[in-house]
Every structure is written in structure tokens, then in C-alpha cells.
Amino acid sequence: MAEWMCSVCGYVYDEKTGDPANGVPAGTAFADIPESWTCPVCRAGKVAFRTLSATDAPAREGTTVSDIMAAELVAWGVTVVFGLPGTSSLGLVEAIRKNPAIRYIVVRHEANAAMAASAYNKLTGKIAACLTIAGPGATNLATGLYDAKEDHASVLSLNGQVETQYAGAGGVQEIDQDAFFRPITVYNNTVYEKSMAVLLLTRALKYAILDRGVSQLSVPNNIQKQPLDAPYCSRESCVAGFDIMPPPVLLEQAAAAINAAERPVILAGWGAFPAAQDVLALAKKIRAPILTTYRAKGILPEDNEWVIGILGNVGSPAARTLAPESDLIITLGVGFSKFTNVPLDRPMVQVDIDPIHLMKNKKTVGLYGNCSHVLPALMPLIHERDDPKVPEKIARMKREWDDVRDREADASASPLRPPFIMKVLSDTLPEDAIISVDVGENQWWFGRNFRMKRHRFVMSGYLATMGFGLPGAIAAKIACPEKTVVCVTGDGGFSQAMGDLVTAVKYTLPMVVVVLNNHELGMIRVEQMMERYENFATDLLNPDFAAYADACGGVGIKVRSPGDLKPALERALALNRPVVLDVETDPKRF
């Protein structure tokens, strides 16, 4: 039995399987096919076909490069792949289809695939992969991959590439992907020889894990399908852990600085999240208030007696008062975003696994290490402090801040005010819900007015890209299917990613998408106001988001009055389906 290939489109007729859909039963020799038969793909006649030799026939039996790569992904714990299939990635897609340990989530836009992969790592610490085609598929990934780069999320980008003989001038859907991805990645390569495929893949995974960033590997279409024997593949492995500890002399210096301080404060960042209980133990021992960065919101429940709240533009006045008045700031895994507004003239004890963040001034003791290891080693060196005035002061500040936010949450205002929406969300969502927060005014209100309990949230941090909310929610539901997942987004951010609401429907990913619909780019309007520009180009012509959700196979619910919000949210949570709450909001800030 032979195989015949169409010289026009590349379709292969296999005499073993025939073409039953077009009246040619299995086992029919090509010569016996009626002359009226045409290629089922491009409708070329029989004359366009040529027989395939054993050397140029696609590898349909045995193990291919793609099969080995898929198995290697599973061996490294990569079991979720986001992307879109296409001509230059079909070999890899087929290998994933055949491997039951990998789930391929097909999205409607590659940027959403990359943002979902980034969110997946931020929530779980595990690597997810993107898999797309060459050229436009690869370029569409850029925004989501840049989010992973900026927030140090480990992501693998697997990209098809045109067959090597078609690279260069005149190639279709072909770009220099090595050059394109170079600014985004910690590792970047192309598989030009099949025997190197596994070595390069394992190296890419190793770099993504250890350098906490994006690794990109392009695989030409013809190489994906070539036969490969696993026992003859070279590969690399990764250290089981890379915990870092500073030398004892620096621990002693840090303890001395803490023991000498009279008004210390703790600033917990994203890097301190795994050490939440150690942060709390430190606060209790030295009687210091806990401030957080935005990304560390929720490291501890916000009603904890030691937690003041976020330091920065969206944070409490108390946090902005305590930091500059302190005589020592203990920063734990803090990235020093300009929006956090850390007073850099204060003496500091810093703990971070990125040494570039250490030594912010000459009055700093910098501890290069993991918070979850450094803090337990530091605690025995620190003197216990007993100052009853500090808890009383923190309690008073917390009450004052809660009173402010309660007054802002006007339950009578219509259209609904964002502070009221955040209060209803805080009071109604399960305490362990996962919230994906988009970028825009909705993010400002969430940071200021949502009160975290045992919630987790994920966002686009340093890149701060609109459109992150929905793909982040998709990733959250895949990572934690047992949890309630909510996306908090604005009409501007949701409209950038709303095509993938059908992805949530297709894969049965129940979630509630809360759209703060103020018919404008609210944050841009405020920024124009702050810089004394006239308001311009911020108004949005929106579709009916609730009707759109219904059209996608989900559920759409409109909320137009304050009394409708809580019942609508409770109904949405009970439906166990993808739901869009289209909430008419007031563009006024308070």
C-alpha cells in the first residue's frame, strides 16, 4: 500500500485508509480511484498527485520528535498548554492530542494564551506552555509573554516554524523568531536538528524555572514529524530546589538593626507570599505593623490585627503615614514599583532573591535569600518587644480606614459606585475564591476597597496590560477547578479579551465575570484630569455584554440598581456556568 501526495496543497492519500467520505473505501489503490475523484482539500484532479517514497513520507508510525517532546513536557510537570493550532505546528499538536497527560486549551487569540500561561504560573508555581504557529501566532504572544517577563513568571513558549528550506525571503508566515523573542526571553532557540530537540527543550525548561522567566523554542514543521528514538536523546535536568541563604554575619547585622529600631514597619511584597506565617510571627515579636505591596494584597487576611493594608497610590492613609515616620522598614520580597512609593531615605533591612533589588540606600542591610528560609533563621536573633501602644494604634488606624471605605460604599447611589460594588463582592464571595483582576479603574477600586480574607488574586503587575482579567480567570479555573473564580474587569479591559468567553464555555469553566461598565476608559480620563488635559478619546461604544454572554452559550445578567447587585451575584455563583455580570457603574470616583 502506497501513499500519494497532492502537489498543490500537500494532502496525502493513503491507500490503506482510502477516502470513505468521498466514496473511496479503505484499501483502494490510487490507480483504481475513479478519474472524477478530486483532492478532498483543494479539489485538484488525480493528475496533481505523485507517489511518496519512504524517505519523504510523513512519519505516521513509531515515535516522532514531537512525541518525544510531549513526553518530556509531562516528565517536567507541564500538563497544560494554551494556544492555537496551525500549519507550522501540526506535528506538535498531534503529539499533544495523543498524550493523555497534557491538556490543550485552544483560545481565540494567542495573547490570551500567553496571559493565561503567565497567570497559571503566578497562581501555582508550575509551568504552563503556549503552543502556536510561526509568524503571526508567535507575534501575537508577545504581550502576554512580556507580562510573564516583567512579573518573573516561568512560561514555556513552543512555536511552530516553517520548514527550514522555506525560511527567508518569500516565506509565508515566517519571521526571524529568534530575533523577535530575544528581548522577552531568558532562553531562546530553534531546533534545526532533530537529535537536539530534547536537549534544547529541557534546557529551555531549566532556564524558565531557574531564571523565573520566558523560554522560547521554535520547531520547524518538517523536524516536528521526523522519527526519533528516545534512548538516544541527550537531555538536561534541573536542581530540585534553589534556596538561597545569606551568611550568618549579615543575619546578625539585620537582627541588630531590627533590635535597635523603635518604630519598625514591615513591608511584605509578592516574594514574601510563601512565608506569610513567618511575616506574621515577625510582626508579633517586634510589635510592627504589616504593610503590603499591591501584589501582596491578601498575603494575610486584611482583618488581621497587624495588617494595615497596601502602601502606595491605592492604599490606606495609615500606610502612607507609617512608612515615612518609621525608623526602619523591613522589606520582604518587594519589587519597589514606583506606585508603591517606598520612602527610600529610610533605613532598611531587605530580603529578596533578586539581588538587583537590594541595597536601596547606604543605610540598608541586604539579605540575599528566600523569605521562607531567611525569616526563620532571623527570628531567634531578634529580641521580643512589648509595646501595648502599637496594637492600639494599629487598631485605631484600621477602624478609621474601614469607616472611610464604608462611607464610600453608598448603597443608594445609582448608577452603582465602584466602592459599593467592591463591598458587595467582599461580603458575598467565598473566602477562598480566586479573583483575576484586570487593569484599569476596576483595579484601582479593587486594591482600595476589596477586603481580602483567604482570597487569592492574580493580575498583570509591572506590564499592567489591559485584557489580563479574563485569561487570568480561565487559568485560575483550570489550575483550581474546585475554587470559585471571579474576574473583576472594566468594559475597556473585557472588550480586549472577550472573544475567549467562548473558551470558558467550551471547556466548561464556571466563573463570574464582573464588568464595571462605565462606558469609558475611566483611568485615562482621571489621568487626563490630573495633567489638566481636556477629556478626549476615552468614551466607549459598548455592545450589550449580557446579551453577548448569552450568545456565547454562557449567561448574561444586567445590574442597573444597587439592590440588584447582591442577588445577581448570588445567582451567578450558584449557576456553575460562565456568567457575565454587566454592572452599570458611575464614572465618578466617589
Asked whether the beta carbons of 409 and 420 are under 8 A apart, the reply is yes
Q: What is the largest CA-CA distance in the chain?
A: 95
Asked whether the beta carbons of 558 and 582 are under 8 A apart, the reply is yes
Cβ contacts of residue 12 below 8 Å, gap of 6+?
A: 3, 4, 5, 6, 52, 57, 58
Q: Note if the pTM is more than 0.85.
A: yes
Cβ contacts of residue 100 below 8 Å, gap of 6+?
A: none
The CA distance from 301 to 454, in Å, is: 6
Task: Give the distance, in angstroms, between the CA of residue 236 and the centroid of all CA atoms in the same chain.
Answer: 26
Architecture of domain 409-584: 3-Layer(aba) Sandwich (3.40)
What pairs with residue 264 in β-bridges?
A: 328
Tell me the domain boundaries of the chain. Answer: 3-51, 65-232, 248-393, 409-584
Asked whether the beta carbons of 421 and 474 are under 8 A apart, the reply is no
In tens, the pLDDT along 388-406 reads 889 999 999 999 999 999 9
Kindly state the DSSP code that residue 293 receives in the 8-state scheme. -
The CA distance from 315 to 307, in Å, is: 12
Classify 40 as helix, strand or coil.
coil
Type of residue found at 383: H
Q: What is the CATH number of domain 65-232?
A: 3.40.50.970
Please, what is the average pLDDT of the chain? 92
Domains 65-232 and 248-393 share a fold: yes
Q: What is the CATH number of domain 3-51?
A: 2.20.28.10
Q: Which residue from 589, 13, 97, 19 is spatially nearest to 314, judged by alpha carbons?
A: 589
Rounded to the nearest 10 degrees, the angle between the axes of helix 418-428 and helix 389-408 is 120
Sign of the C-alpha dihedral, residues 292, 294, 298, 301? positive
Asked whether the beta carbons of 520 and 538 are under 8 A apart, the reply is yes
Type of residue found at 167: A
Kindly state the DSSP code that residue 578 receives in the 8-state scheme. E
Type of residue found at 447: G
Architecture of domain 248-393: 3-Layer(aba) Sandwich (3.40)
User: What is the reported pLDDT for 59?
Assistant: 46
Kindly state the DSSP code that residue 581 receives in the 8-state scheme. E
Q: Which ranges of the chain have pLDDT less than 50?
A: 55, 57-59
Q: What is the DSSP string of 352-414?
A: ESSGGGS--STTEEEEES-HHHHHHHHGGGSPP---THHHHHHHHHHHHHHHHHHHH--TT-S
Classify 132 as helix, strand or coil.
strand
In tens, the pLDDT along 109-162 reads 999 999 999 999 999 999 999 999 999 999 999 999 999 999 999 999 999 998
| Residue 262: other Cβ atoms inside 10 A | 9
